[in-house]
Amino acid sequence: MARQAGSRPTRIARRESSLISGTPEQVKARLDALQAEEQLDELIIDTPISDGPARLHSLRLLAQAHYGKEVLNVL
């Protein structure tokens, strides 16, 4: 495409995946480490799950790992 447009060829650098997966406890530990390493005030969690109830379940599991207790289903 670059050649067709008359532009110089460009290389796209690979970057490390930012996906974090595992058990709720493993994900929490990695997020805690990331927050400490980068000195972050907050994190935005985006779960790549298309099914709504499954996505909420995933977030609920992470919240339970974070708070150390069951999180109520508020929906």
Main-chain phi, psi angles of 28, to 5 degrees: -60, -45
- What global pTM score does this model have? 0.69
Rounded to an integer, what distance in angstroms lies between the CA atom of residue 68 and that of residue 32? 14
Show Cβ contacts of residue 31 under 8 Å, excluding neighbours closer than 6 positions: 20, 43
Rounded to an integer, what distance in angstroms lies between the CA atom of residue 48 and that of residue 20? 11
- Assess whether pLDDT exceeds 70 at residue 3: no
DSSP H helical ranges for the chain: 24-38, 52-67
- How would you class 51 by CB atoms within 10 Å of its CB: exposed for 0-12, middle for 13-18, buried for 19 or more? exposed
- Assess whether pLDDT exceeds 90 at residue 15: no
- Assess whether pLDDT exceeds 90 at residue 59: yes
Say which residue, 11 or 40, is predicted with more confidence. Answer: 40
